[in-house]
Amino acid sequence: MEFTAQQIADFLGGKILGNPSVSVHDFAKIEEGKPGTISFLSNPKYNNFLYSSQASIVLVNHDFVPEKEVTQTLIFVENAYECIAKLLSMVEQAVPRKTGTSPLAHIAATALVGEGAYIAPFVYIGDQVRIGKNACIHAHCSIEDGTIIDDDVLLYSGVKLYPNTRIGKRCIIHAGAVLGSDGFGFAPTADGSYQKIPQRGNVVLEDDVEIGANTTVDSATMGSTVIHRGVKIDNLVQIAHNVEVGENTVIASQTGIAGSTKVGAQCMFAGQVGIAGHLHIADGTVLAAQTGVPNSIKKAKETFQGYPAIPVANFRRSAVVYKNLPELQQMIYQLQKRIQILEEERKS
């Protein structure tokens, strides 16, 4: 597949600086650009790569001003990062979709598979399952009884959906993810052992959710664990039973959210964030990497860092103090000695 700079600019609504007839057939990072590829520049840290890159076309933000002569054709757009994503999506959508059902798949007699769906070899589909139009189910997926999958859903290899899971339109679930596994519910008994609490609920994903590889979303004890519309969850994330994640929230790898916590809309959690159970996290909350949250966050659109989580400005000031603790300790020892000498002189 090949496009000219003019075709790309027309598609993105951008302005061209350079040769509008130059064509590209592949994508490349700015530092690895080769002739025939298109790249992008949105982070000023990578500006220097522009002047040595061999990419034929580079997308740049509309306010970018070259500091040196540029040999590539530049396309100025409102947001270069967003525009490269649009181009990648366009190319991906142009790839022919697989359809049909492999004879090596097991589909229960009571299951229904929508028109245009693809069911790969060694897929298991249980009783009363409903799979929507144009869904794509890759090899070794297990879809248990009563699960409903809506249109245009993509399940990569090895996804496990426990009974009665609900998957909305255009969701993407990556390899090894498990939805609907038992929540971690055990009641202590008088003899010191633990009695398992049956988990009778399910997991619900609304439309346009993406779940990363080897992420787990636990079934609710009662009711539903709900991931609302537009949420994007990275690999290796743990979402516990009865959690609710608000619309368009993004969660990075190795984050864990304990049971019954309610996360607001448009939150952003960096890697290795830990959130205790039965909390409420306000809309627009940003949690920096390795932040631990033991209490509810009630004020919207605040940024926190550290454990326990504190406003990021306070954390940065505290970090400066922490870094200087050895010197401060020595200073205190010296002051203690001076005070002791002054006390002895006063007594004498």
Quote the pLDDT of residue 346: 85
Residues near 54 by beta carbon (within 8 Å), at least 6 away in sequence: 33, 34, 35
Contacts of 187 (CB under 8 A, 6+ apart): 194, 195, 197
Q: Is residue 277 part of a domain?
A: yes
Distance CA 32, CA 251 (A): 29
The confidence score (pLDDT) of residue 325 equals 87
CA 10 to chain centre: 31
What pLDDT is recorded for position 6? 97
The verdict on residue 114 lying in a domain is: no
Query: Looking at the domain assignment, is residue 196 inside a domain?
Result: yes
H or E element at residue 287: strand 286-287
Is the bond preceding 294 in cis, omega lying within 30 degrees of 0?
no
Residue 40's pLDDT is what?
Answer: 96
The answer to whether position 298 is within a domain reads: yes
Residues 277 and 203 in one domain: yes
Q: Are residues 197 and 296 in the same domain?
A: yes
Let me know whether 300 and 324 are in one domain.
Answer: no
- In angstroms, the first-to-last Cα distance of the chain is 94
Residue 216: inside a domain:
yes
d(CA 164, CA 161): 8
- Are 262 and 220 spatial neighbours (Cβ–Cβ below 8 Å)? no
Q: pLDDT digit of tens for each residue in the chain (348 aa)? A: 799 999 999 999 999 999 999 999 999 999 999 999 999 999 999 999 999 999 999 999 999 999 999 999 999 999 999 999 999 988 888 888 889 999 999 999 999 999 999 999 999 999 999 999 999 999 999 999 999 999 999 999 999 999 999 999 999 999 999 999 999 999 999 999 999 999 999 999 999 999 999 999 999 999 999 999 999 999 999 999 999 999 999 999 999 999 999 999 999 999 999 999 999 999 999 999 999 999 999 999 999 999 999 999 999 998 888 888 888 899 999 999 999 989 888 887
Residue 137 lies in a domain: no
- The domain total for the chain is 3
Rounded to an integer, what distance in angstroms lies between the CA atom of residue 197 and that of residue 14? 58
Q: Are residues 177 and 256 in the same domain?
A: yes
3-state SS, 209-236, equals CEECCCCEEECCCCCEEEECCCCEECCC
Return the active site residues: 241
Whether 46 maps to a domain, the answer reads yes
Question: For residue 30, what are the domain limits?
Answer: 3-94
262 and 297, same domain (yes or no): yes
Residue 115 lies in a domain: no
pLDDT attached to residue 323: 87
pLDDT the model gives residue 225: 98
CATH number of residue 19's parent domain? 3.40.1390.10
Q: What is the pTM of this model?
A: 0.87
Tell whether 174 and 255 lie within a shared domain. yes
| Residues 294, 210 share a domain | yes
